[in-house]
Structure 1
Amino acid sequence: MKTLLAICFLSISFFAQAQTGTTEQLQQANTLLKQFKEPEALAIYQQIAAQQDTNVAVLVKCAELNCSIGERQTDKGAKVTYFTTAKQYADKALAADSTNADALYAEALAYAKLSSTEEENKKIVEDVKQMKLYADKALAANPNHALANYIAGKWHYEMLALNWFKKAALKTFFGKGLATPDIDSAITYMEKCKTLSPYFVQNYLDLAKAYGYKNRPAQQIEVLTKMVKLPTRTADDVALKEEGRKMLSDLQ
């Protein structure tokens, strides 16, 4: 009995130490993110994910950071590597909980990024279909998921604003499972995201572009004016706000 109690005590003690270590790692990663040191923060999240492959929150963070870091790469091969890695983490998050809105959103995000690097028509179409599918699933799981609303809105906008070659490729498949894109839907989703996540700079920029597509300069100016005054909270916000300032200057 004493031996059994000793084993139980050691197991509980080990688990508590592991949890304490994970908490400290998460705090360190959060501090690094506030300092805009995304690669360093990602390294910590990946360490945790290697030990806890069913921790959905950590897996989703790994997917998000691989997407944001990958987006800033100038080399296409590096972009593809980051986006593919993001997809792998999103897959793991879904394997851990296939109904989790964050995991479903991460999968949609990964497909969105991969679609931007594809050159083969069928792959572009498949990525775009999956992006919409998982965004819709995330919203079905949680209609108030801010980032899923953003992805859904971005899907509608990008399907309308794509370059002519990709648009032509996609039009071929609209009758085969792809929904018809709509600029009003894009605006509705992104306006909802703005309400749910009022400091998400990327959403403001894309919402302004959607208003521009619809030829509504007054709303475009209103969104951009708010955007450039937002606090800088991510490594991408400075560049995004600068793009917004240039757009605003051109409109005024």
Structure 2
Amino acid sequence: MRRPSTATYVPVLLAVLLGIWAVPALAQGASGTDRAPETIASTPLPSDSIDARLEALEDERQTSDFRRIMQELEALAEEHPDHGGILWRLARTRTDVAEHTADEGQRKALCEKALAEATRAVDLIPSSSNAHLTKAVAAGRLAIISDTRRQVELSRTVREYADQAIALNPENDLAYHVRGRWHYEVAGLGFFARRIVDLVYGGLPNASYEDAESDYRTALALEERVVHHVELARTLLETGHSNQARTHLRRAIALPQQDVTDPHHKERARSLLQETSS
């Protein structure tokens, strides 16, 4: 009997990155404080008006007009090319634009550029948790539309930079969320897919549903968000804790909207609750 090809098993790796990236704004509402200065010493500090504009653009993210925000950040980055805070926000917004871009070639170009900008931001402000988290998110978005070998490489990048984001700011709830999602998806890889990844592509770090649950619970303890409840519920369903899962789904539905992504996650919660209650 003919054995399935590597390509039959490994496309499930796409799921490792799906869903991580529809997370709330990193700076706006993120628990804790990104303690890193956002410019390098060799560059004159931007005026207070630049900082005020960045703050205003964070607020404007709730409009979902990501393309316009991207254009404004591009103009700021051209004027202040060594401002790490501008660069990681630009990288994040570019991935948001990519998510809403139908053409795969354009989407991939946006994600490649976002990853380069996030990498530059990490180089400029290596103590910034948000810069590292943005690199993890950009890597994940790019992985979705990459070949299998690069998917595996970028999945390692997701884990590495989520870990670093947490180390730099243990109160960054969204970093725990991203790492939790990584654990959830990698733990869900079947035996053959995981074996192929180990043998052909060099393997991935260990992952488990228990680690995913721990990260989601930590994220919730730091900041209650709709998306944290939904992903924790999904993890609890995988480990057979249906009653706990339904409690978190109901809570997700009941929470007031705080982020532009909340309606999407509330709808997911309703669907899951209906499925688990039938």
Which bracket does the TM-score occupy, shorter chain normalised?
A: 0.7 to 0.9
**How far apart, in 2, do the equivalents of 1:110 and 1:166 lie?**
24
SS in 2 for 1:228: helix
Instruction: Tell me the equivalent position of 2:215.
Output: 189
Structure 1 unaligned blocks of 5 or more = 1-14
How has the CA–CA distance of structure 1 residues 166 and 204 changed in structure 2, closer, same or farther, with 3 Å as cutoff? farther
Tell me, what secondary structure is at the counterpart of 1:53? coil
Structure 2: give runs of 5+ residues left out of the alignment: 1-43
**C-alpha displacement of 1:179:** 1.7
Q: Would you say 1:19 and 2:21 are equivalent positions?
A: no
**In structure 1, how many angstroms separate the alpha carbons of the residues matched to 2:250 and 2:59?**
29
Deviation at residue 217 of structure 1 after TM alignment: 1.1
Bigger drift between 148-157 and 20-29 goes to 20-29
Distance 1:133 1:187 in 2: 19
1:102-251 matches, within 5 Å, as 102-119=130-147, 121-162=148-189, 167=194, 169-172=196-199, 176=202, 178-199=204-225, 201-251=226-276
Alpha-carbon distance, 1:52 to partner:
1.9
The alignment of Structure 1 onto Structure 2 pairs a total of residues equal to: 234
State the distance in 2 between where 1:66 and 1:101 align.
Answer: 19
Report the TM-score when normalising by structure 1: 0.81
Q: C-alpha displacement at 1:73, in angstroms?
A: 3.3
**RMSD (Å) for aligned C-alpha atoms:** 2.6
- Work out whether residues 194 and 203 of structure 2, in 8 Å CA contact, stay in contact via their aligned partners in 1: no
Aligned to 2:95: 67
Check 1:234–1:190 CA distance in 2 against 1; reply closer, same or farther (3 A cut). same
Change (3 A) 1:130 1:42: same
Alpha-carbon shift at residue 34 of structure 1 (Å):
3.0
CA–CA distance in structure 1, aligned partners of residues 85 and 190 of structure 2:
35
Structure 1: how far apart are the matches of 2:192 and 2:103?
22
**Higher helix residue share:** 1
**Aligned partners of 1:77 and 1:163: how far apart in 2?**
30
Answer yes or no: is 1:43 the counterpart of 2:71.
yes
Deviation at 1:21, TM superposition (A): 4.1
Contact 2:197–2:203 (8 Å) recurs in 1: no
Identity in percent: 21
Structure having the higher Rg: 1
Match of 1:5 in 2: none
The answer to which structure, 1 or 2, has the higher relative contact order (CA under 8 A, 6+ apart) is: 2
Q: 1:24 and 1:141, CA in 2 relative to 1: closer, same or farther beyond 3 A?
A: closer
CA distance in 2, matches of 1:161, 1:228: 26
Per the TM alignment, residue 87 of structure 1 is displaced from its structure 2 partner at its CA by: 0.6
Once residues 218 and 116 of structure 1 are traced to their aligned partners in structure 2, the CA distance between those partners, rounded to angstroms, is 32
CA 1:77 to 1:203, structure 2 compared with 1: closer, same or farther past 3 Å?
farther
Contact 2:237 2:245 (C-alpha < 8 Å) held by counterparts: yes
